[in-house]
Amino acid sequence: MPHETLWEIAKAEVEKRGINGSEGDGAEIAEKSVFFIGSKNGGKTTIILRCLDRDEPPKPTLALEYTYGRRAKGHNRPKDIAHFWELGGGTSLLDLISIPITSDTLRMFSLVLVLDLSKPNDLWPTMENLLQATKSHVDKVIMKLGKTNAKAVSEMRQKIWNNMQKDHPDRELIDPFPVPLVIIGSKYDVFQDFESEKRKVICKTLRFVAHYYGASLMFTSKSEALLLKIRGVINQLAFGIDKSKSICVDQNKPLFITAGLDSFGQIGSPPVPENDIGKLHAHSPMELWKKVYEKLFPPKSINTLKDMKDPARDPQYAESEVDEMRIQKDQELEQYKRSSSKSWKQIELDS
């Protein structure tokens, strides 16, 4: 019998839960899933622990981690269960996105993108890569689900559009993300000390992206008051608690904008002189905002931005004895390659 990998086992377990949680077409699924993605060391684990009332120090997320939370519905009623997934490594482990997102979990699935506000040069590429990879997989799962349960797909799309009022002026201009999306800007305590112009560009850009995708946007830090507000938003995703209607769009304060409450009119045009906009040669509003943002915060080069794909080489998991053995084996492998190469060349000469 072939050995299954950890991720194959985890994926099978998720699919099993989804099947057991829904019987037949249109049946209500009691268990919801919330998937945290975002900047490396951006504070995802801290937010999850706070939402679950777990008083423990956060540990680095190696790859893909899972935990769950329960909430009582009422007296003598079964507790709601929420599944929390967290992708580690920033943008380096995109292949693992497919594990928690399946046709069985998708109908009650939400995405939380955590962006490190203290590293504005990494912000756009991190956001773009993670959202594109997630959307690509979600679209494939929706297409697969649509072949067997078109009603479920239709209900999902209707649910997403319900966040936007029917008479909202931007209804024809946005492209909602296929699953509920919350964008959280972390480390606001560092961000608030940035120059006013830099804060303005970051705030307006994130407001545009969030509104375009029909997402909620909010900033947080280690402040207990801010963490409590974030906890309320995550509990709404995980347990269906009533959504907050509060809003703060002041760039001098932590942003808090629930999906559907912002507008392109309030956000305004990209913060760049009008005579410079035509020189940017953008093919879409999203591309225009990207060019304006990266003009002030140019992304790091591919080599420095790209996270380490091999966790065995990540310094935060260093173990001297293991690493020494690894170096020895790598040297032996290189020596073998060289000797093999010489052997083949000798064979070619002899023939």
Chain segment 204-252, per-residue pLDDT in tens: 999 999 999 999 999 999 888 898 899 999 988 988 877 777 899 999 9
317-328 tens-digit pLDDT: 566 766 677 677
Q: Is the pLDDT of residue 8 over 80?
A: no
For the chain, the straight-line distance linking the first and the last C-alpha, in angstroms and rounded, comes to 44
Token look-up 């649910």 returns 159
β-pair type (247-248, 256-257): antiparallel
Stretch 88-105: mean pLDDT: 90
Domains of the chain with bracketed CATH = 29-296 (3.40.50.300)
CA distance 138 to 21: 20
Residues in the chain: 351
Give tens-digit pLDDT for 16-52. 554 444 444 443 446 899 999 999 999 999 999 888 8
Confidence grade of residue 271 (pLDDT, cut at 50, 70, 90): confident
